[in-house]
């Protein structure tokens, strides 16, 4: 399951870089929350944040992954960079 989660993380990162709202919607669970020292504050956000060109990244990467599996759910803790 860890390999599948890391592949989904790679698709997630790529979708953000490409502004692929449909791919993000497919990957994002309805309870998705971002926890970041610079963004989100645990807010729930849908893929609509990218619609209309209001948001884009010149850099999207993710590394230093720790995957914790809890039954049929996984949590990814990752480092990485993102540029506006």
The beta-strand segments (E) located in 1-84 are 59-60, 63-70, 73-79, 82-83
Domains held by the chain: number: 1
What is the band of 3 on the pLDDT scale with cuts at 50, 70, 90?
Answer: very high
Domain span at residue 49 reads 2-83
CA–CA separation, 84 vs 77, rounded Å?
Answer: 21
**Whole-model pTM over 0.75:** no
CA–CA separation, 43 vs 73, rounded Å?
Answer: 20
The 10s digit of each residue's pLDDT in 45-66 is 555 555 555 566 677 677 788 9
């Amino acid at each position: 399951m860890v390999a599948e989660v890391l592949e989904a993380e790679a698709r997630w990162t790529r979708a953000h870089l490409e502004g692929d709202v449909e791919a993000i919607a497919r990957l994002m669970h309805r309870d998705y929350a971002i926890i970041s020292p610079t963004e989100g504050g645990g807010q729930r956000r849908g893929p609509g944040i990218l619609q209309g060109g209001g948001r884009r990244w010149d850099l999207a990467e993710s590394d230093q992954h720790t995957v914790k599996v809890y039954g049929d759910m996984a949590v990814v803790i990752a480092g990485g960079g993102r540029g506006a």
